[in-house]
Amino acid sequence: MALVCAVKLLLFLWLFNFLPSSQGSFASAHFFYLLSLSLSLSKWSFKKIGCVCMLNFWSKCNPKPALPENWENRLPLFDVEAIYCGMCRFIERVGWDAKLVNESYPWIEKQIVHQPKLEPWQVALRDSLLDVGISPFNGFTYDHLYGTKVGGTIFDRFGRRHTAAELLSSGNPRKLTVLVYATVQRIVFDTSVTRPKAVGVIFKDENGNQHEAVLADKPQSEVILSSGAIGSPQMLLLSGIGPKADLEKLKIPVVLDNKFVGKGMADNPMNAIFVPSNKAEKQTLIQTVGITKMGVYIEASSGFSQSKDSIQCHHGIMSAEIGQLSTIPPKQRTPEAVQAYIRRKRNLPHEAFKGGFILEKIANPISKGDLSLVNTNVDDNPSVTFNYFSHPYDLQRCVDGIRVATKVVQSEHFTNYTRCNKQTVEKVLNMSVEANVNLIPKHTNDTKSLEQFCKDTVITIWHYHGGAHVGTVVSRKHKVLGVDRVRIVDSSTFSESPGTNPQATVMMMGRYFGAKILRHRLGRAAGI
């Protein structure tokens, strides 16, 4: 996670420092940002999640997807139309330049994205999805198309992950300054002018020493915030931009009263169906995805018990190591509690973890929440509420998705593969409730109500977004409204999470805005 952001930020730096020295020297001096490559897992469970092994799946949200290869032979015309209707509308809605978007995705893909070697668990998912009607099969593609497809991965065939940090190799190291383990505390504004303008940032280094970085007094100088859906609204609030009453309560000097900062936070609910297996399953992350017309995406992961020892491994999104402890309230999820849990889990029965999960994610949740500061310490996470399923349409889609996921588990592709008998829906749901990790009290025997199941077993798929929306907090150029020299380029500006999984679009956005800014400043001389 840290790396995604890191390089997204670095892309900007690079873009401004990439030019031949005659043009580039001015650019490098008045562009500044900081990033954190913190890998700590303790209280940063949200904001500074570190390098989590689940981060993997690459799936775009491009304006006009390419048709599957040889589509003329494979698809009747009405299917082709259906595919185009299924294209991701996100880019259209945000009004980005489709041509530049289509150039920016491959710029990243060429450097870090790979075709996965499809694992048997993911093959079983592919065949089951097609069996239950999530068709056509669109093959291996990064594009967002109705039906079933295999997406990309940032792991190569040797199992090495290629993160956004590698995009730095396209930059000019002589013109980049990267501060790692540096935490921005606030943006400093000059409020003596009619319109507040950013003049720098205060940050602390890895030793806790405080510094101020001052922007050069040039028209192009700006601070670009890219600290994510939790970090960017938090940073605006800490810097005095937000609802006046909230800022005053914490004695933060008000730079700009904007009631929309921290509002409209959303997290796509994820619910998982546990699939038991009679054999050890290899660990697989997401490779296959079903894109349904009901606004639900179906994905899968497997292999939490390859061996008797594997329960001791770090299992990413489902794991205690990232602080998602089912039995401990959030405030008590200290590093010590995590360590104690890791020690205890060695005693858990190996059989209980055989198999894998079918995951369903609700696209574009209508339920929204908000973010507010708890105190003025940047190291403390703000309070975030997502209000999962507060809108009945989200709950309805979850129920529909669970019905599909249950059929997938019951399909003979899975029963044959896992060597398990077909289970009743009740049994499947009961096992899933028991395998679930969240703090919500469970209704193990109430799985007849799929609504209850959805509410009881909801967890995050880590695609949270919002809090600094276009139109209310930032302009279409992503400049913070009402002040000068601050821009935000990250998922806090999204009103929906693009595509089945957002990292492709988040990274593309870094390249896109960098190119836009550079073109605006330099025109043809930008060379991109």
Ligand X SMILES: Cc1cc2nc3c(=O)[nH]c(=O)nc-3n(C[C@H](O)[C@H](O)[C@H](O)COP(=O)(O)OP(=O)(O)OC[C@H]3O[C@@H](n4cnc5c(N)ncnc54)[C@H](O)[C@@H]3O)c2cc1C
Enzyme catalytic residues: 463
Of the pair 115, 135, the CB lying nearest ligand X is at 115
Smallest distance, ligand X to C-beta of residue 61, A: 10
* Residue 311 interacting with ligand X (CB under 6 A): no
Site string for ligand X, 60-99 (x = CB under 6 A): ----------------------------------------
Of the pair 128, 227, the CB lying nearest ligand X is at 227
- Beta strand pairing call for 256-257 and 241-242: parallel
- What residues have CB less than 8 Å from 196, skipping those under 6 apart? 189, 190, 255, 256, 482, 483, 484
Among 55, 187, 480, 508, binds ligand X (CB under 6 A): 55
Phi, psi of 238 (to 5 degrees): -65, -25
Q: What is the helix (H) or strand (E) element at residue 441, kind and residue range?
A: none
The CA-atom distances, in angstroms, between 278 and each of 230, 258, 300, 496, 524 are 41, 56, 18, 39, 62
Token reading at 417? 């593969």
Of the pair 202, 328, the CB lying nearest ligand X is at 202
- Beta strand pairing call for 197-204 and 183-190: antiparallel
The whole-angstrom separation of Cα 491 and Cα 465 is: 5
Among 163, 183, 239, 268, binds ligand X (CB under 6 A): 183
Closest by Cα among 380, 409, 505, 397 to 458: 397
* Residue 5 interacting with ligand X (CB under 6 A): yes
The whole-angstrom separation of Cα 483 and Cα 258 is: 11
Q: Which amino acid is at 202?
A: I
| Candidate segments 433-441, 450-458, 499-507, 520-528, binder of ligand X by CB under 6 A | 499-507
Site string for ligand X, 312-351 (x = CB under 6 A): ----xx----------------------------------
Number of residues that bind ligand X (CB under 6 A): 39
Site string for ligand X, 282-301 (x = CB under 6 A): ----x---------------
Three-state DSSP class for 285? coil
Q: Report DSSP state, residue 514.
A: H
* Residue 503 interacting with ligand X (CB under 6 A): yes
Count of all residues that appear for the chain in the document: 528
Among 34, 270, 338, 473, binds ligand X (CB under 6 A): 34
Site string for ligand X, 426-465 (x = CB under 6 A): ------------------------------------xx--
The whole-angstrom separation of Cα 101 and Cα 267 is: 24
Give the CB-side neighbour count of residue 249, counting CA atoms within 13 A.
10
Closest by Cα among 30, 460, 518, 411 to 265: 460
Among 36, 104, 292, 381, binds ligand X (CB under 6 A): 36
* Residue 52 interacting with ligand X (CB under 6 A): yes
Among 287, 502, 511, 515, binds ligand X (CB under 6 A): 502
- What residues have CB less than 8 Å from 436, skipping those under 6 apart? 272, 326, 442, 456, 457, 459
* Residue 141 interacting with ligand X (CB under 6 A): no
Among 8, 197, 413, 487, binds ligand X (CB under 6 A): 8
Among 62, 221, 227, 436, binds ligand X (CB under 6 A): 227
| Candidate segments 46-54, 290-298, 299-307, 429-437, binder of ligand X by CB under 6 A | 46-54
Contact residues: ligand X, CB under 6 A:
1-2, 4-6, 8, 34-36, 38, 47-49, 52, 54-57, 183-184, 226-229, 231, 235, 286, 316-317, 378, 462-463, 490-491, 501-504, 506
